[in-house]
Structure 1
Amino acid sequence: MARLAVIAGGGALPARIAAAHPDALFVTFDPQAGNLPDGAEVLHASFERAGALFAGLKAAGVTEVVFAGGLTRPKLNPLRFDAKTMALAPAVMAALKAGDDGLLRTVVGAFETEGFAVRGAADLVPDLTAPAGRLAGRAPAKADLADIDRAVTILTTLGPLDIGQGAVVVQGLVMGIETVQGTDAMLDFVAGTRARFRRDGGVLVKAPKPGQDLRVDMPALGPQTVTAAAEAGLNGIAFAAGRVLLLDRDEMIVRAQAAGLFLLGQEV
């Protein structure tokens, strides 16, 4: 019988998966992690002891894993590596010098080589994504649609360079590109842009990079992003239909309606 393990990072996603899969084993790399569900079975792990992690998963009967929430790149101490980590080290070290996509492919490959099936959060909790269509707010104006198209073009062009999953365009002007700091930091930057460099309105577009493995790195939006977009003076948020996680969709809709923002699923 299949058993799921949740490789739990930060944010609300681990709790969403826990609600749908209460028997899952939760793996945390942070002994002080506070986002784990009450009563959940927890396996504490170390990035430097991959062999112990794989053995612990197998001992618990795990056959499937899902990566949920953000994980920061670890600072590794080779003196603490176990034999399995030592064997993986050349590939991991090379991947750490590359972009996130390369690192994630290496990590996924290691789990699959050990016999674990890697699942996507959206496969386990289908209502985490939304189809094409408007979820909240008014219909986008012609200028908004033009800004969405330009943002999509930017993301598609930059995707092969492993840069970002989000962009802000205001009346044709590029106001922000998401980098390692994340979407909310980009929106804070836009909000703080001096008025003489700004025009009214604009959109945030969120979409995966071309070829991105959506099982482990699907872009996500949440209520705080809606609030940050409103504070940045934008007209709305567009996202790739079926390919962006919506964390707490109901609250996102409430905040968007209150702020007068549209939420739009787009075929990207």
Structure 2
Amino acid sequence: MSALAIIAGGGTLPERLAAAHPDALVAELEGFGRGIAGAESFRLERLVPFLDSLCERGVTHVVFAGGLRRPRLDPALFDMRTAAMVPRIVTAMQAGDDATLREVIAIFEDWDLAVVGAADLLPDLVAEPGVLVGTPGPEAEADVTRAAQIVEALGAVDVGQGAVVARGQCLAVETVPGTDAMLAFVAAHRAHLPAGGVLWKAPKPGQELRIDMPAIGPSTVEGAHAAGLSGIAIAAGGVMILDRAATLARAEALGLWLWARA
């Protein structure tokens, strides 16, 4: 692979990629990065100059890593060429998150920058099918099947990548606030909900995994435990496990099973 740029958001994934690719250029979206040593920052209002700069420095491949939210934009900071892109981006945003991310990829590709997925660069992030910790029982397997049906149905209209199900009942679905917020909701209402339950995480149908592959990590395990769940199931090959050793160790310590379901 030729010169690589890491577009870094929050979380630990950008740092892991930077450690694995020490020659990569690291660029953090202003206000969202963790302050990786040597990283530069950029603003979306100056996207075209930033893209020009990447090409001038010999970058040919780009990987997006870490959590991002839609930033507040300052109209006064737009350059003319970036401002001309706004209608294109707004149209995509009105069609949903996945359409927005596809448009972001298309813009980078307009500059002949190939977008690669974090899991392509660090394939050990993605688990092969199988039970990784513990043993889900028949009731848990039935709840996972039900949760997978819910996520697939909601994903078809570009909503969420996760659901919590207990005894066949849907307790919560993931929306814009994310997985941690969904689990916190279940924890807050635990006394009024069926006992136990499972968390299912999977990509939406047709999701652009190069830029938005779902992920779990130690905080997901903590949240599932606080919510009183019995375990976590993820779509094998479609969900990253961040800090894998710590995630599995925490699940085992808290008595949760973890299953990469084919």
Q: 1:62 aligns to what SS in structure 2? A: coil
Matched, 1:173 2:206: no
Counterpart residue number, 1:92: 89
Q: CA RMSD in A?
A: 1.4
> For 2:252 and 2:35, how far apart are their aligned partners in 1?
28
Matched, 1:69 2:69: no
- Write out the 4+ residue segments of structure 1 that deviate beyond 4 Å after TM superposition: none
Give the AA of the match of 1:221. I
The structural deviation recorded for 1:96 is 2.6
Counterpart residue number, 1:206: 201
Cα distance change, pair 265–14 in 1 and its aligned pair in 2 (3 A): same
Residue among 242, 246, 249 paired with 1:254: 249
Give the AA of the match of 1:109. A
Residue among 177, 180, 183 paired with 1:184: 180
Instruction: Give the structure-1-normalised TM-score.
Output: 0.94
> For 2:197 and 2:171, how far apart are their aligned partners in 1?
9
Matches within 5 A, 1:130-209: 130-137=127-134, 139-195=135-191, 197-209=192-204
The structural deviation recorded for 1:118 is 0.2
Report how many aligned residue pairs link the two structures: 262
Give the AA of the match of 1:162. D
2:11/2:34 contact within 8 Å kept: no
Gaps of 5+ in 2: none
Gaps of 5+ in 1: none
Q: 2:163 aligns to what SS in structure 1? A: strand
Matched, 1:243 2:244: no
Counterpart residue number, 1:230: 225
Q: 1:48 aligns to what SS in structure 2? A: helix
Deviations 1:95-120 (A, max 9, x none): 23332111111111000011000000
1:51/1:83 contact within 8 Å kept: no
Give the AA of the match of 1:136. V
Deviations 1:70-106 (A, max 9, x none): 1110222333222321221111122233321111111
2:10/2:32 contact within 8 Å kept: no
> For 2:113 and 2:127, how far apart are their aligned partners in 1?
28
Counterpart residue number, 2:12: 12
1:12/1:35 contact within 8 Å kept: no
> For 2:59 and 2:156, how far apart are their aligned partners in 1?
34
The structural deviation recorded for 1:194 is 4.5
> For 1:16 and 1:103, how far apart are their aligned partners in 2?
26
Instruction: Give the structure-2-normalised TM-score.
Output: 0.96
